[in-house]
Structure 1
Amino acid sequence: MGSAFDELIVPMLVISLLAGLATTLGAILVLWWPNLESKKLGAFLGFATGVMIAVVFLDLLPTAWQWGGISALVTGFLLGVLMIALADLILTRLIRFGDQRRKINPLRKMGYLIAIGISLHDFPEGIAIAAGAAAEFHLGWFVALAIGLHNIPEGIATAAPLRMSGLANWKIIVLATVMALFTPLGTLLGFGVLTISTKVLAQLIALAGGAMIYLVFSELWPEAKKNNPSWAYGGALIGAVAMSMLSFFHH
């Protein structure tokens, strides 16, 4: 790497860390929110559903197709689905093994799975920040801003079911902060991946898309409708519209 390119790494790592910490901010907003009854939880989960679907179909999958073609998109997407399905199976068995006397708390399992899926998603987001900065420094700032804005509802999506499951607030904050670190890690990886293969990058992006789609249809949306269908649909619409607008400005 040239010296001019090397000089981008530290400032972009700081910027991407701030973008990642927006996830923690989203979690804090949920913890400060009083009385998360079923209709509010339905709206939160519906909102998260709309956000994640918009991110996948307006951002992740088109980008994977553009950078790696249909083969990278399909293989990465299927791998993402399989990874989260496997994580779902393992997590369910761990919870059951940890305390066989209690019924598995579906909200807690959902929160952990969402955390895994969003962390996988944050990796290629960090790479996107590196890619933007490598093209033009101000573009890296802009991509980081867009990512930071949509990390807030992702933090909400993770924290809401965990709070309703009774997990301690400090544990939720720690988890959200660990998730935030995947964005700068992705940026660091991105400066290396961009010099090797855009197809690998495309597969990582599609993998995140597959993981998020699995979460939406196996966990998020069913739970949202179960809590309050009308509020879930309203939240999903607001989330999809909000992320569509962010995606428009991002591109």
Structure 2
Amino acid sequence: METTLLIVVAAAMLTAIMTGVGALPFLFVKKLGNRTMGWSNAAAGGLMLAASHSLIAEGATLDITLTLVGVLVGLGAIVLADRLLSGAGEVDVADLHGANATKALLILGIMTAHSFAEGVGVGVSFAGSEGLGAFITTAIAFHNVPEGLAIALVLVPRGSPVWKAGLWAIFTSLPQPIMAAPSYLFVETFRPFLPVGLGLAAGAMIWMVFAELFPEATEKVDTGSAATAVTLAFSVMMAFQMLVLAH
């Protein structure tokens, strides 16, 4: 089938919608205790670490120097954003208030930045060899499900409704269809920026795991238990990604 701009945008929109699927398990979980909240934070951290690993690995295959530059820029950006939000007073996000809303806003911002890079990846792939676009779209779509779960693990235990967490998860992936179209049309212009974007999102996510999610997890459960949850979530995410890539 001949690739058209409409097909590229539709494929990228599908990857965005799949992010919302990650919130669905919370439809069956009515109430979360302190220990579950601690494990949720740790699991979200493990999922984000695995996503960061994949982003850096993918960027390094394109240009390792630009990927490293992206990681450092992402680190600087998230530290600056954290300081600005800390001094901005009360914020409200997804029915959350105060410190919970600040953490949610940081994570939503990181995931949204991440999606810009993925959108470029979809567009560039459709401009490549035949079948590559469909493969990359499928991989990103399935990859987005646990990312949506990571977002829900942060939002729902703090009081956000499941439906709203799902919509916020989809919102963070909307840059994918937005960026897929121009990157498909102007592939040679966008291709050099892809490793920078991948590294940027990875650097911000790694900071978020160790500055916010893991410390908060250890407030609810012991360090060993939190570390186990991080490692298990990381392993499940990597196994899931390998399964997708193998097919």
Fold in common (TM above 0.5) = yes
2:51 to 42, 52, 55: 55
For residue 149 of structure 1, report the CA deviation from its aligned partner.
Answer: 2.1
TM-score by length of 1: 0.83
Where in structure 2 are there 5+ consecutive unaligned residues?
none
Between Structure 1 and Structure 2, how many residues are aligned? 239
Where in structure 1 are there 5+ consecutive unaligned residues?
none
1:24 to 20, 23, 30: 20
2:236 to 223, 238, 242: 242
2:156 to 163, 166, 171: 163
1:68 matched residue in structure 2: 63
SS of alignment partner, residue 172 of structure 2: helix
1:148-206 CA-to-partner distances (Å, cap 9, x unmatched) read 22222222222333233334555434422321312212322432553125332211111
1:225 matched residue in structure 2: 218
2:165 matched residue in structure 1: 172
Q: Stretches of 4+ moved more than 6 A in 1?
A: none
- Distance (whole Å) between structure 2 residues aligned to residue 192 and residue 32 of structure 1: 43
1:11-46 CA-to-partner distances (Å, cap 9, x unmatched) read 121122111112222234335522122222222222
Which amino acid letter does the alignment assign opposite residue 151 of structure 2?
Answer: T
- Distance (whole Å) between structure 2 residues aligned to residue 76 and residue 213 of structure 1: 13
CA contact (8 A) 1:105 1:165 kept: no
Alignment of structure 1 residues 119-198 onto 2, 5 Å: 119-168=112-161, 171-192=164-185, 194-196=187-189, 198=191
TM-score by length of 2: 0.84
- Distance (whole Å) between structure 2 residues aligned to residue 143 and residue 81 of structure 1: 27
SS of alignment partner, residue 196 of structure 1: helix
CA contact (8 A) 2:12 2:119 kept: yes
Structure 1 residues 38 and 128: alpha-carbon distance in aligned structure 2, compared to 1, 3 A threshold: same
Cα RMSD over matched residues?
2.5
Structure 1 residues 153 and 197: alpha-carbon distance in aligned structure 2, compared to 1, 3 A threshold: closer
CA contact (8 A) 2:126 2:184 kept: no
2:30 is the alignment partner of 1:37: no
Higher helix share: 1
